[in-house]
Amino acid sequence: MDEQRRTAASWFHELRDRIVAAFEALEDRASGDTPAGRFDVTPTERAENGGGGLMSVMRGGRVFEKVGVNWSEVHGTLAPRAQAAMAARGVPGMAEDPRFWASGISLVAHMQNPHAAAVHMNTRMFWTPGAWWFGGGTDLNPCIDYAEDTAHFHDTLRAACAPHGADYYDRFKAWADEYFFIPHRGRARGVGGIFYDDLNSGDWSADFAFTKAVGEAFLPAFLPLAERRMAQPWDEADKDAQLIHRGLYAEYNLVYDRGTKFGLETGHNADAVLMSLPPLAKWV
């Protein structure tokens, strides 16, 4: 399993590099005579356990108001609360042995133009002495819905899922619809996507191949939408709608998101964990 862990961590890092380069290239195309947005990259370390990662955040770009693309490879011992949560999910051996290793990429983009949808993506591998699994997904979060954008996003994900399981898209779309729902608001935070967790078919190579397919599908699913909307005219009412929608996103990530809870409970850099929060939001 050591070789598989190295392979997965390396691929997540490579995906991070490609996405950062693609986003900076989009900034270049949109910048005109003004400076293009660039990522600030900060190494992160876990204070009490082992490992760390890279926190890459761009603020105030022409296309991206705030976007974070984080990579991590961490290991150590789960805190009792996190260990109990894993055991409750049925993770083999977790009740007896709290050691873990995890690596992945996590991305959230909040856009300047209200017509351009915010987006989230993550893929990860998790290991304990009793099990390993993959998880991740991506979902689109527009404040102004465009049916053609939603269709393109989902069609790209459907095509990525198809070679790996006839039911994967339908299963993981339904999981995303449930997972990214905000109970106290009685509504979804966006127009969905796919989400999966605890994926262990017994064939590591097959599960890793699917996880790579999800990561590879992200740029083709999202970049055309960002390019289509980045120069579209907008007014203050559009911006107001965007900020209110960002309030929903903040509520979800602070109250329900599993990754936020895990990151904080396992001692990861708090700024890296909370980079998903929008730079500005409002509530009515």
| 3-state secondary structure labels for all residues of 154-184 | HHHHHHHHHHHCCCHHHHHHHHHHHHCEECC
What does the pLDDT read at residue 180?
Answer: 95
Instruction: Print the domain residue range for 138.
Output: 2-276
Q: Is 200 domain-assigned?
A: yes
User: For the domain that residue 58 is a member of, what is the CATH number?
Assistant: 3.40.1500.10
Q: Is the pLDDT of residue 68 over 90?
A: yes
Q: Is the pLDDT of residue 181 over 80?
A: yes
Q: Is 281 domain-assigned?
A: no
What does the pLDDT read at residue 267?
Answer: 66
Q: Are strands 50-59 and 40-45 parallel, antiparallel or unpaired?
A: antiparallel
Q: Is 76 domain-assigned?
A: yes
What does the pLDDT read at residue 47?
Answer: 63
- Tokens standing for residue 157: 């994900």
Counted domains in the chain: 1
Q: Is 282 domain-assigned?
A: no
Q: Is the pLDDT of residue 259 over 90?
A: no
Q: Is 55 domain-assigned?
A: yes
What does the pLDDT read at residue 48?
Answer: 64
Region of poorest pLDDT, from 30-34, 48-52, 91-95: 91-95
Whether the CB-CB separation of 77 and 99 falls below 8 Å is answered with yes
Q: Cα torsion for 132, 171, 185, 64, to the nearest 10°?
A: 70
As a whole number of angstroms, the distance between CA 246 and CA 266 comes to 26
Q: Is 284 domain-assigned?
A: no
Query: pLDDT of 101-124, one tens digit each?
Result: 999 999 999 999 999 999 999 999
Res. 70 pLDDT band, cuts 50 70 90: very high
Q: Is the pLDDT of residue 90 over 80?
A: no
Count of CB atoms situated within 10 Å of the CB of 96: 10
Q: Is the pLDDT of residue 80 over 70?
A: yes
Q: Is the pLDDT of residue 138 over 70?
A: yes
Q: Is 181 domain-assigned?
A: yes
Instruction: Write down the catalytic residue from 13, 75, 110, 120.
Output: 120
Region of poorest pLDDT, from 73-82, 121-130, 220-229: 73-82
- Tokens standing for residue 13: 């890092």
Q: What percent of the chain has pLDDT over 90?
A: 76
> If you average pLDDT over residues 236-249, what whole number do you get?
95
> If you average pLDDT over residues 30-58, what whole number do you get?
85
Q: Is 147 domain-assigned?
A: yes
Give yes or no: 110 in active site.
Answer: no
What residues contact residue 167 under an 8 Å CB cut-off, 6+ apart?
Answer: none
Average pLDDT, the chain: 92
